[in-house]
Amino acid sequence: MNTWDAIVIGAGAAGLSAAQMLGRARRRTLVLDTGAPRNRFAPHMHGVLGHDGMSPGDLLGRGRAEVEAYDVEVRAVAVARVDEGATRVTVTLADGSAESARALVLATGVSDDLPDIPGLAERWGTGVLHCPYCHGWEVRDRRLGVLLVSPHQLHQAQLVRQWSDDVVVFAGMLGAIDPEIARRLHARGVEIVAEPVVEVVGEGTEVTGVRLRDGRVVAVGALFTMGAVRPHDAFVAHLGLARADTPVGSFLEVDAMGRTSSARIWAAGNVVSPMANVPLSMGAGAMAGAAVNAALVEEDFDLAPALYWNGRYADRLWSGRPNRTMVDVVQGLEPGRALDLGCGEGADAIWLAQQGWDATGVDISQTAIDRAQDAARTASIDAHFVVSDLSEAETVGEYDLVTASFFHSPVALDRTGALRRAAARVAPGGRMLIVSHAGPPPWAPAGHGGAHVFLNAADELDALGLDDSDWMVEIAEARPRGATAPDGTSATLDDTVLLVHRRPDVRISSS
Ligand SMILES: Cc1cc2nc3c(=O)[nH]c(=O)nc-3n(C[C@H](O)[C@H](O)[C@H](O)COP(=O)(O)OP(=O)(O)OC[C@H]3O[C@@H](n4cnc5c(N)ncnc54)[C@H](O)[C@@H]3O)c2cc1C
């Protein structure tokens, strides 16, 4: 499975517009499509600024080439099912394979289920038309027929009158027309035929008339009608996304940016808005694409500390040796349960386990924890490792020793909060050891450390806010430590060392 940022289902006007925004926003984007856009029956497309009269296929071909230029992958395959997880959406394809992404855009359009009248379907998009904005100009001033198949279509009958003053409405499939509506139509010279239509007649793809049940043929130069629109969304039905009932059917509900009731699924174009023409579908797709990127940008910032640390640990970072100061302080203590905050690649926790401690290391980086687990396994050491963002997670359990060696971060870390929460989990008689940098290394250029605050032992103690009646301070000092500078010379670093001891008779909360 690839790790896509976004998957777009449907490569029509809406889907390709969403994909174009996502590709240009440098999102790894996959478009899945069955190649059957709604307007594929029409040889020309109108009302699309800058592309008036272009064929629908040419527009989509251009759009596809444009998105591919931004490294978007377009794949000809049907989507069979979509499943939603906490952090990703998984799409199962008709060939049984699966792809997953952080966000999904549905742009699968609709089908027009046409009236079952001989001669009609084969002229759909040429002589039989659905939208006067798209094709009315080309048939203006002809005698225009409107075949009514639903009461909602009376609006279409009125609309067509704008393109011709010779309009005939075929109302036979509806039964009786409301007399008030009939009066309105007659007032503008619209003729109403009550006899049902049994056939659409014409030459090639053009319409020349309709045959009525009584055998008469009424001449028309084009016929407007509607299909029953059916959104292509069955493959998300089991997700229970919110829907809205409209006069033409039930459609997925989306907000102004195109987001459905799912935090990871957007929808755009005809699949949510069957009246949208090509430009409106493009606009909705572009909006959804930008909205997906905006949501992912937010998420990237939310996840930044984990991303940063996984990046830092992409290559082995530390030597695998435990921290010297921690070893010096801890080696005289009676082993019990130990917790190492910000354990990185696990050297301290593994050393603690080797000394007989029941040791658990916690770190935000999955990469570091994987490496720590491998190291423990290889050495047959029973140490436990957990991935957790200590800025947010509650510390659980009770420990005889909590250690935090160089628990600093150049990206967001609620260090004080994490240390305080961990201090609260120190068992009566237990200890907390904090070893941190007292200052920048001597080889660092002037100004090194940026916003980093180097705490001395008194500051560190103040930050912990421990209750004097519960805790005793055993070590609070700066300790020099030998180190090797990057140029290979020997140097001395100062560590801040704070060891606090919880009084044995203290009672702590069991929560
Ligand atoms: C006959 C006709 C003529 C029209 N003429 C015009 C015109 O002149 N001007 C105009 O502005 N508008 C016109 N329209 C309207 C136009 O077709 C729509 O506005 C437009 O197609 C909507 O774009 P879309 O991206 O939402 O859906 P579509 O263009 O229908 O694209 C949806 C895509 O999703 C794919 N898909 C569906 N299900 C799946 C699945 N499960 N897995 C993978 N892919 C899937 C389909 O194959 C298709 O490629 C016309 C419509 C019709 C019916």
Tokens coding 127:
């002589």
Does the Cβ of 92 fall within 6 Å of ligand 1? no
Ligand 1: residue whose CA is nearest its atom 27? 109
> How far does the centroid of ligand 1 lie from the alpha carbon of residue 145, in Å?
24
Q: Quote the CA–CA distance of 249 and 241 in Å, as a whole number.
A: 15
b/e map 352-376, b = 16+ CB within 10 Å? bbeeebbbbbbbbbebbbbbbbebb
Does the Cβ of 425 fall within 6 Å of ligand 1? no
Q: Which fold has domain 3-111+229-302?
A: FAD/NAD(P)-binding domain (3.50.50)
Quick: pLDDT tens for 481-500.
Answer: 888 887 888 889 899 999 99
Does the Cβ of 37 fall within 6 Å of ligand 1? yes
Q: Which fold has domain 309-502?
A: Rossmann fold (3.40.50)
Domains of the chain, by residue range, sit at 3-111+229-302, 115-226, 309-502
DSSP helix/strand/coil, 326: helix
Residue with tokens 């929808």: 267
Q: Looking at the chain, how many residues does it have?
A: 511
pLDDT for 481 equals 86
User: Are 106 and 266 in contact, with CB atoms under 8 Å apart?
Assistant: yes
User: pTM for the complete prediction?
Assistant: 0.76
> How far does the centroid of ligand 1 lie from the alpha carbon of residue 91, in Å?
21
Q: What is the dihedral of CA 18, 19, 21, 26, to 10 degrees?
A: 150
Taking only the tens of pLDDT, the chain with its 511 residues reads: 457 999 999 999 999 999 999 999 999 999 999 999 999 999 999 999 999 999 999 999 999 999 999 999 999 999 999 999 888 999 999 999 999 999 999 999 999 999 999 999 999 999 999 999 999 999 999 999 999 998 888 889 999 999 999 999 999 998 888 899 899 999 999 999 999 999 999 999 999 999 999 999 999 999 999 999 999 999 999 999 999 999 899 999 999 999 999 999 999 999 999 999 999 999 999 999 999 999 999 998 888 899 899 989 988 777 789 999 999 999 989 999 999 999 999 999 999 999 999 999 999 999 999 999 999 999 999 999 999 999 887 778 899 999 999 998 888 889 999 999 999 999 999 999 999 999 888 877 665 545 567 889 999 999 999 999 999 999 999 999 888 887 888 889 899 999 999 999 876 654 4
Beta strands in 85-155 (DSSP E): 89-93, 98-106, 110-113, 128-129, 144-147
Quick: pLDDT tens for 103-149.
Answer: 999 999 999 999 999 999 999 999 999 999 999 999 999 999 999 99
249-252 and 144-147 strand pairing = unpaired
Ligand 1: residue whose CA is nearest its atom 46? 36
Measuring CA to CA, which residue among 407, 262, 427, 250 is closest to residue 338? 427
Ligand 1: residue whose CA is nearest its atom 51? 39
Ligand 1: residue whose CA is nearest its atom 53? 39
Chain CA centroid to CA 456, Å: 44
Rounded to the nearest 5 percent, the helix, strand and coil shares of the chain are: 30, 30, 40
User: Are 156 and 180 in contact, with CB atoms under 8 Å apart?
Assistant: no
pLDDT for 2 equals 57
Does the Cβ of 132 fall within 6 Å of ligand 1? no
> How far does the centroid of ligand 1 lie from the alpha carbon of residue 51, in Å?
16
Q: What is the CA radius of gyration of the chain?
A: 35
> How far does the centroid of ligand 1 lie from the alpha carbon of residue 171, in Å?
28
> How far does the centroid of ligand 1 lie from the alpha carbon of residue 160, in Å?
22
**Do the first three CATH levels of 3-111+229-302 and 115-226 match, i.e. the same topology?**
yes
Quick: pLDDT tens for 164-223.
Answer: 999 999 999 988 888 998 999 999 999 999 999 999 999 999 999 999 999 999 999 999
> How far does the centroid of ligand 1 lie from the alpha carbon of residue 108, in Å?
8
pLDDT for 509 equals 57
Q: Quote the CA–CA distance of 77 and 15 in Å, as a whole number.
A: 14
> How far does the centroid of ligand 1 lie from the alpha carbon of residue 222, in Å?
22
Residue 439: count of CB within 10 angstroms of its CB: 16
Q: Quote the CA–CA distance of 398 and 389 in Å, as a whole number.
A: 19
> How far does the centroid of ligand 1 lie from the alpha carbon of residue 15, in Å?
10
- Which neighbouring-strand residues pair with 197? 212
Tokens coding 190:
């619209």
Tokens coding 407:
């628990």
Q: Which of 8, 39, 123, 233 to mutate to test the pocket of ligand 1 (most atoms within 8 A of CB)?
A: 39
User: Are 65 and 80 in contact, with CB atoms under 8 Å apart?
Assistant: no
Q: Which fold has domain 115-226?
A: FAD/NAD(P)-binding domain (3.50.50)
